[in-house]
Amino acid sequence: MLRKVVKKVLSVEQAEGRGARVRRSIGRKELRRLDPFLMLDEFRVRPPAGFPDHPHRGFETVTYMLKGAFKHQDFCGHEGVISKGDLQWMTAGRGVVHSEMPATEGDNVGLQLWVNLPKAQKMIEPAYQELLATEIPSMTQDGTTVKVIAGESMGVQSPVRTHTPVYYLDFEQQPGARVVQAVPQSWNAFLYVLSGMIRVQSADEEEDVESEAHHTLVLGEGDSVRVTNMGPEKAHFVLIAGQPIGEPVAQYGPFVMNTQEEINEAITDYNLQQNGFENAHGWRSVAQK
């Protein structure tokens, strides 16, 4: 059964970090969460703006660059630069303090997705998976190209291992191209349009929905989604889907746990530099110095 659009949300630009601008998709008041997803930002940052030293606990951040480059540095000594088409999948687990700053002049553009972790994995050790653009598998069929960041599409599968089962697919379509993508029936799923004009086609033509850039299209029940490029230019969108965790969510900024008591513990641990935040003692990134 084809999934139809059940909610359409425009992402309006807002301030975030230090002088940065983002278009927030999930995480807005109109779409607070979509289990297991906590947030999706389309960021566009010029130096000296960025995201200096800040903590995380209890979830994963997925950064995918579309233009320019970003430099990452954390309190465990991990650092590097991801450029156009590169991916960083960071499991914050019990605690990470890091900075994310633009590495080139002009606009540095990308997407950052926050994926929740189940209670049993919220306090695991931090870890990273990083892929260069050339390491992300892709396939082209009938005018549609997909880059498989997580999950599988068109017979190819991502090497990324996810704690919460997730599909993260980057599609580019030539004018008039159509794609049908399978999505596990029990999963929550949405599209985020980056450019062009697409139509999500349901079994009933009257329920078709068209969308231009910067809109989030939340998909209803079904086992597949059908998308057609309706415009004269190439269309670019991502399809993100995940298995719901189904647990309570307590969130305070960059800390995401199951209860308010656990949030209070996270704040205390960060302030006292303990239980996962020991390396925060005396640490400052290059961006913060």
- Domains of the chain from N-terminus onward: 5-242 (2.60.120.10)
Mean pLDDT, rounded, for 122-145: 97
Q: How confident is the model at residue 289 (pLDDT cuts 50, 70, 90)?
A: low
Distance (Å, rounded) from C-alpha 119 to C-alpha 145?
36
Which pTM value belongs to this model?
0.96
Mean residue pLDDT of the chain comes to 96
Q: How confident is the model at residue 183 (pLDDT cuts 50, 70, 90)?
A: very high
Q: How many CB atoms neighbour CB 159 within 10 A?
A: 11
Q: How many CB atoms neighbour CB 186 within 10 A?
A: 10
pLDDT of residue 43: 96
Comparing C-alpha atoms, which of 168, 32, 40, 163 is closest to residue 113?
40
Whether 65 has a pLDDT exceeding 90, the answer reads yes
C-alpha distances in angstroms, 14 versus 11, 38, 234? Answer: 9, 17, 27
pLDDT in tens, 236-252: 999 999 999 999 999 99
E strands present in 17-173: 20-24, 37-45, 51-56, 59-67, 69-74, 79-83, 87-91, 96-102, 108-116, 127-131, 138-141, 144-150, 152-153, 156-157, 166-173
pLDDT of residue 135: 97
Beta bridge mates, 168 = 150, 240
pLDDT of residue 204: 79
pLDDT of residue 131: 96
Mean pLDDT, rounded, for 189-194: 98
pLDDT of residue 288: 72
Whether 147 has a pLDDT exceeding 80, the answer reads yes
pLDDT of residue 176: 97
Contacts of 67 (CB under 8 A, 6+ apart): 84, 107, 108, 109, 110
Distance (Å, rounded) from C-alpha 254 to C-alpha 267?
10
Structure token digits, residue 266:
């996270």
pLDDT in tens, 215-224: 999 999 999 9
Mean pLDDT, rounded, for 187-197: 98
pLDDT of residue 180: 97
C-alpha distances in angstroms, 117 versus 95, 142, 255? Answer: 13, 36, 11
Distance (Å, rounded) from C-alpha 222 to C-alpha 218?
12
